[in-house]
């Protein structure tokens, strides 16, 4: 009987083996497909990283040209662009295109279609460096003195008056002011718009902005003087100003903007390598450049 049972099990090993072959076939095919997908994803990732580092080099080259005073950029008119390709390949990529556009920082505060942002007049406004008057564990407080003196031709009707500071403290809620405002001479708060002065957050900094009703601002005839004194607090005791300037706009067309200091430039940098693009926005200040954005497209 035992011999009969053994004889009846002949061929079972073949069936078991075929079963393993079938199961292995079902498992190996998707496993190989998954491995191929992973290898392909790694290849694409490496290519994109190569492109990213290459286009990153294009942006950094443009920043170096701005800082070092590269002549074609320094002679650009406001709103104009300069396009060039990197002279040397990076990571084997030979075509790295960089476009740099020169803009005025004031275009984030004023309407470029209404004012001549590229031709501000200096010399009418004296704006002393903000004077630190208090510092606590919670905040630092500054006092500011601004004087406007018509040394050109007149009369001039002021439409807006602004004071810009950088850097931005990181949160608009940390800025309190302007406060304790004192107007004197031809500077007046008569006909100020209801929400003036307002705090305007701008790239790299912030602006205190006064707006007067249409054609109702202070009038400065030749030789007239007017002053504005105010204070403000930053609820970050370590905050210090890098750049500051005051500006005013007038309704006359020959002089639309007057400033106390040269207005910092804002640079839009767009670099492209293969299918990757980086768009960066930087602002000049007295300590170099502030990188505001760095977007990968």
Helices (H), the chain: 2-8, 12-67, 71-74
3-state SS, residue 66: helix
Q: At residue 283, what are phi and psi to the nearest 5 degrees?
A: -125, 135
Q: What is the per-residue pLDDT across 192-241, written as a single tens digit (0 to 9) for each?
A: 999 999 999 987 789 999 999 988 999 998 889 999 999 999 999 999 88
CA dist 234 to 49, 69, 140, 266, Å? 41, 33, 5, 24
Q: 3-state class of 237 per DSSP?
A: coil
User: How many whole angstroms separate alpha carbon 244 and alpha carbon 204?
Assistant: 11
H helices, E strands: number in the chain = 3, 17
Domain count, the chain: 1
Q: Is residue 153 one of the residues assigned to a domain?
A: yes
Query: Is residue 210 situated within a structural domain?
Result: yes
Q: Is residue 283 part of a domain?
A: no
Q: Domain of 190: which CATH number?
A: 2.60.40
**Closest by alpha carbon to 239, among 177, 148, 189?**
177
CA angle in degrees (0–180, nearest 5) for 218-223-226? 40
Asked whether residue 255 is assigned to any structural domain, the reply reads yes
212-222 pLDDT, tens per residue?
998 899 999 88
Q: Is 16 domain-assigned?
A: no
* Residue 245 is assigned to a structural domain of this protein: yes
Name the residue among 59, 51, 52 with its Cα closest to residue 280.
59
Domain extent at residue 248:
121-259
Distances (CA, A) of 154 to 120, 165, 187, 255: 17, 29, 15, 10
CA atoms of 37 and 162, how far apart (whole Å): 58
For the record, the structure tokens of 39 come out as 């290898």
Please check whether residue 247 is in contact with residue 257, taking contact to mean a CB–CB distance below 8 angstroms.
yes
Whether the per-residue pLDDT at 33 is higher than 60: the answer is no
118-167, pLDDT tens digit by residue?
777 777 888 888 999 999 999 999 999 999 998 877 788 899 999 999 88
Which whole number is the average pLDDT over 37-45?
51
Predicted confidence at residue 79, as pLDDT, reads 84
Compute the chain's Rg from CA coordinates.
Answer: 33
Domain contains 179:
yes
Residue 129: count of CB within 10 angstroms of its CB: 10
Residue 39 in domain: no
Helix (H) or strand (E) holding 125: strand 125-127
* Neighbouring C-beta atoms of residue 145, cutoff 10 Å: 15
Which of 12-16, 48-52, 85-89, 174-178 has the weakest average pLDDT? 12-16
Question: What b/e sequence results for 93-127 when a residue is b if at least 16 CB atoms lie within 10 Å of its CB, and e otherwise?
Answer: beebebbbbbbbbbbbbbeeeebbbbebbeebbeb
Instruction: State the pLDDT at residue 152.
Output: 76
């Amino acid at each position: 009987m035992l011999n009969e049972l053994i004889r009846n099990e002949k061929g079972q090993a073949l069936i078991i083996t075929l079963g393993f072959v079938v199961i292995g076939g079902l498992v190996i095919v998707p496993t190989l497909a998954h491995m191929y997908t992973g290898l392909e994803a790694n290849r694409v990732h490496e290519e994109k990283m190569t492109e990213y580092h290459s286009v990153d080099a294009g942006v950094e080259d443009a920043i170096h040209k701005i800082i070092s005073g590269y002549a074609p950029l320094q002679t650009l008119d406001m709103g104009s662009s300069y396009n060039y390709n990197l002279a040397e390949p990076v990571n084997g990529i030979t075509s790295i295109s960089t476009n740099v556009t020169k803009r005025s920082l004031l275009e984030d505060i004023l309407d470029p279609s209404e004012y001549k942002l590229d031709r501000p007049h200096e010399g009418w406004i004296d704006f002393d460096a903000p004077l630190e008057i208090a510092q606590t564990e919670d905040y630092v407080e500054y006092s500011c003195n601004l004087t406007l003196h018509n040394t050109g031709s007149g009369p001039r009707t002021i439409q807006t008056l602004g004071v810009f500071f950088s850097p931005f403290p990181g949160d608009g809620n940390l800025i309190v002011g302007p406060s304790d405002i004192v107007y004197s001479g031809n500077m007046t708060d008569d006909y100020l718009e209801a929400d003036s002065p307002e705090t305007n957050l701008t790239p790299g900094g912030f602006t205190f902005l006064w707006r007067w009703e249409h054609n109702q601002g202070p009038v400065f005839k030749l030789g007239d003087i007017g002053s504005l004194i105010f204070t403000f607090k930053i609820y970050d005791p370590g905050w210090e100003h890098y750049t500051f300037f005051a500006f005013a706009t007038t309704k006359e067309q020959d002089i639309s903007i007057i400033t106390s200091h040269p207005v910092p430039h804002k640079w839009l940098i767009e670099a492209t390598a293969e299918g990757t693009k980086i768009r960066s926005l930087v602002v000049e200040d007295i300590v170099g450049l502030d990188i505001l954005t760095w977007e990968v497209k």
